[in-house]
Chain A
Amino acid sequence: MLLYEAQSLCKYYRGGSRGEVCAVDGVSLGIERGSLTILLGSSGAGKTTLLSLLGALERPTRGRLLFKGDDLGTCSGMHLARLRRRMGFVFQDFALIPDLSAEANITYALIPRGMVRAERQRQARELLARFGMDEKRNVSARRLSGGEQQRVAIARALAGEPDVLLADEPTSNLDTETTRELLAVFRELHAKGRTVILSSHDARLTGQATHVHELDKGRLKEPRRC
């Protein structure tokens, strides 16, 4: 069953003197529920933009993008916010709120889900413990190392049991050891039935995936099933 269905997806940005810049050009794909999908491509290929469209962080300029039957391009802002609660997004630069603690970065993400404070705290602490960040839960994000911030970002993305985890270049800022740990996490999530979508320029990650979509200049090459 498809979690996502994209039809002729396009995303243009205003490029100043260059006019419009086409970041995603006519992409059509489907992402199956429970799959581990990698969006592959070099820098500037459109991976981050496509991932942002899938994560409902931007609306497509043209085309159709369905998530569990909802059109992400035409639904209201309020509905889009509710759909984002079903997704967990890990940003390339982690995107933690710097002056909030590790725990608060996670509990803030749970507030819109209407959980009571005790439940939010419990989930946050469980996730931080799972990623070895229990002792640093009250440390502000600004004072965490890159690897620690990455773990908090993943913990935040997993908070609230989202239907899909999207990660933008999750290994680009990490050392080998941490990369290995992180990929093990993704494998574990996938093994438990979670849909995982990663973007990366590293072709070595494709061995982990069930599906690989390669992008070049905003266009999709022939899809590969692994």
Chain B
Amino acid sequence: MLLAFDTSSAAVTVALATPTGEIVASSTTVDALRHGELLAPAIAAALESAGVTPRDLTGIAVGVGPGPFTGLRVGLVTARTMGEVLGIEVSGVCSLDILARQSSLSLPVAVATDARRKEIYWALYDGPAADGSRRRLEGPAVDKPAEVAHVLSGLPVIGRGAVLYGDVLGAADADAAEYPSADVLATGVATRTLEVVAPEPLYLRRPDVTMSAGPKSVL
């Protein structure tokens, strides 16, 4: 059984799939501030509803971002520790690739997500191949919407960025979701139609050197 989750957006999305990519349990909750609280119970609930134990897992798929760092790390550290103690492989997938797969359009598409600070994470994708996979042509990168509007122009845009900056980026793909879906992640990894990378976070930004406001070292 493959366990898949993504915490790179405001959503915490979890799915369980059979080795052939059939979804047997899934849930998605949108709450940008509670990834750390929501993820583990959602995994436990998925396992329970499918009647499987952690030892029945054969692999883990996790979105590696880009996305807000704090939430992103919750997913990655959960995947890595679970993979370690269960002795199973952890497959990383660029979270923008997941979103690209969520478009049913038979055209090239752009993905734009909320990078906060008035910026977007974005990437460009080819039209879908016969197996549904899409090749990433450019990105992932982080920029101000106006700075990359000319690159994205004319393409349907998928993801939260299309909703937030529709006026700058142009037409959103009205049918596509705003957030990555663990169902798509699970099926894509099970059927090998999503590119798998190491479970390393795609930060795309250097850390801000703002000092701890509080204690330098908490006791």
A binds B: no
Residues of B within 8 A of A (CB): none
Residues of A within 8 A of B (CB): none
